[in-house]
Chains A and B, each alone.
Chain A
Amino acid sequence: MKIDMLRLEALADMMEQRDLVEVELADGDSAIMLELAPPRRGRKKLIDDQVEDPGVTVTSSRVGIFLKRVSVGDQVAEGGLLAELRVMDVKYRVTSPASGVVEEIFVEDGMGVEYGQPLLKLDPGSSPTPRQE
């Protein structure tokens, strides 16, 4: 049996969707067995990403208008103001979960954001001076 990587990948996806742990494919005298290892692929990938990237992503806890209060490269202290969220006529403060440098801002000033949307990324380890790319 010729092993087709694309088909194997599609099969693995199907197994995940249907909560299958083992699939055996037989064709003539050759056979191949696929086994999904727990923790499932999706979750494992997430953990890997976190290990590779020490950045802290700040997400929106509300639905509202994003009002930017820092710029990329700014040093912020833990508890410092990062942004405000305007929900109807009320403004809510978005404060920094850690001290660090603002690495990236994902949302344009004045745009609407949903609950859980990434707003900006902090580099908690970096020094206040020139940002390394």
Chain B
Amino acid sequence: MMPTFRRVLIANRGEIAVRIIRACRELGIETVAVHSDVDADSLHVKLADESICIGPAPSRDSYLNIAAILSAAKITGADAIHPGYGFLAENDRFAELVEQSGFCFIGPSATSIRAMGNKVAARKRMEEAGVPVVPGLYLNGQSTSSDVIAKVKPPLLIKAAAGGGGRGMRVVRAEEDFDSSLLAAQNEAQSAFGSREVYIERYLERARHIEIQVVADRFGKTIHLGERDCSTQRRHQKLVEEAPSPVLTPELRHRMGEAAIAAAAAVGYYTVGTIEFMLTQDMEFYFLEMNTRIQVEHPVTELVTNVDLVKLQILLAAGEPLAMESMEELNGHAIECRINSEDYTKNFAPQGGTVKALHLPGGPGIRIDTHIYEGYRIPTNYDSLLMKILAKGSNRREAIIRMQRALGELVIEGVPTTASFHRKFLDDENFINGAIDTGYVERWLGSTRS
């Protein structure tokens, strides 16, 4: 067996930092937590073997401060850095500097991150690898709107090449709206990502978001661990994730899994990652993007495969070969609800506050990943995710009932949370029947308001 790490620095905060500390502890690896000054009382700081303050509250001065993080790793004697998700996790420059500074980056190579980071380049590479992509075209300076309309009929989608998270994105339903939407998307792309580059693709009506978990080692082996269905989302922010998908057949799972393996292999991937697909109503799937990191919703897969993805990610980074095969038969059913400090009745506006009282659900089949505790003050500088509640059942019906029961037990006082959304949404007939798509939550919110 390859020697693993002695000490890992976690360049993140919140629940994912806690999750990584737990994985390290189980592997017998020491942990270093980094934190901003407002996070001094955060749970990851308390749980780590050592902690170090890297800057003031704004992310750019702390969790995005590459020099401070590398310096912290050096001072504390870490030999590897785990980026978590968000912040610097998909920053190719960071991955490169970590390695150049003599630490191991627990994630993909800078080259893989770069290859998947630019959406236009990634699309092209996926086409070459035989992975289905949504019919569309890259918009160069010469293209006129009539050229575009001739090639891609509305409804169509304008997307920022460097984008993600729904920014720089516009749906065009009527030909005459194309020019104004294009300008708006380009301006938004410029301010969010510093590039006006956009591309156009067919807008897939009422499609589902299905993603495949892939795992690869440094010896050229790539496998997949089945799908997660993340169709319950609002403005590209996922709210509920589950596995298996209520609509995938074993045959389709196999084909999507093979496509995901091809996609990861095409960029020389050697860690855990996710290939996101859109699945249309006629069961055609298209590559959406790759997330070159551990994902928020990774525990859903852990529950139905019995694989600890974070431990596996660390061991793969340390150079261990992958000792398992793809899993196409998932064990039972798992659902995750993302509990954010947001008021869903006010357009999901993020809220700060202090957790005045907290009661966590428990009992059979319930897993909680969180960093909050009674008395915890929620800083408004960061992501609003407070907690992930997971319910596992022998089948989807049992998992849903368990989740409803867990949401009923949950008490978080002092700040509004999305739990009030989830309590209602999990009772929705269409959700229960699995008959939803990525636009469903918006429509549901519209109908519950009126």
Contacts and interface: CB of A to CB of B under 8 A. Distances in A.
Interface of A: 17-19, 62-65, 87-88, 90, 112-117
Given A114-B52, A115-B55, A65 B356 contact: no
B327 to A, nearest CB: 42
Interface string B42-77: 000000000011111000001000011011101110
A87 B71 contact: yes
Given A63-B68, A88-B71, A116-B53, 20 more contacts: A18-B375, A19-B354, A19-B356, A62-B67, A63-B53, A63-B54, A64-B71, A64-B75, A65-B75, A87-B67, A87-B68, A88-B70, A90-B67, A112-B74, A112-B75, A114-B72, A115-B54, A115-B56, A116-B37, A117-B53
B101 interface: yes
B356 A18 contact: yes
A65 B37 CA distance: 19
A63 B71 contact: yes
A24 to B, nearest CB: 19
Contacts, number: 46
Contacts of B70: 88
Across the A-B interface, give the 5 residue pairs with the lowest CB-CB distance, nearest first.
A112-B75, A114-B53, A63-B71, A63-B68, A115-B53
Scoring A18, A65, A113, A115 by chain B CB atoms within 10 A of each residue's CB, the highest score goes to A115
A18 B101 CA distance: 45
Contacts of B56: 115
A115 B37 contact: yes
Interface string B374-391: 010000000000000000
Contacts of B67: 62, 87-88, 90
Interface of B: 37, 52-56, 62, 67-68, 70-72, 74-76, 101, 354, 356, 375
Nearest to B414: A19
Given A63-B75, A88-B70, A114 B375 contact: no
A114 B70 CA distance: 12
A22 to B, nearest CB: 16
Given A18-B375, A19-B354, A62 B71 contact: yes
B93 to A, nearest CB: 14
Nearest to B357: A18
A88 B54 CA distance: 14
Contacts of A117: 53
B421 to A, nearest CB: 26
A114 B356 contact: no
A117 B53 CA distance: 9
Nearest to B356: A18
A115 to B, nearest CB: 5
Contacts of B54: 63, 114-115
A129 B55 CA distance: 37
Contacts of B62: 115
Contacts of A17: 375
B36 to A, nearest CB: 8
B356 A112 contact: no
Contact of B74 (A62, A88, A90): A88
Contacts of B71: 62-64, 87-88
A113 B68 CA distance: 11
21 contacts: A18-B375, A19-B354, A62-B67, A63-B53, A63-B68, A63-B71, A64-B71, A64-B75, A65-B75, A87-B71, A88-B67, A88-B70, A90-B67, A112-B74, A112-B75, A113-B75, A114-B72, A115-B53, A115-B55, A115-B56, A117-B53
A42 to B, nearest CB: 13
A113 B76 CA distance: 10
Contacts of B52: 63, 114
A19 B375 CA distance: 9
B51 to A, nearest CB: 8
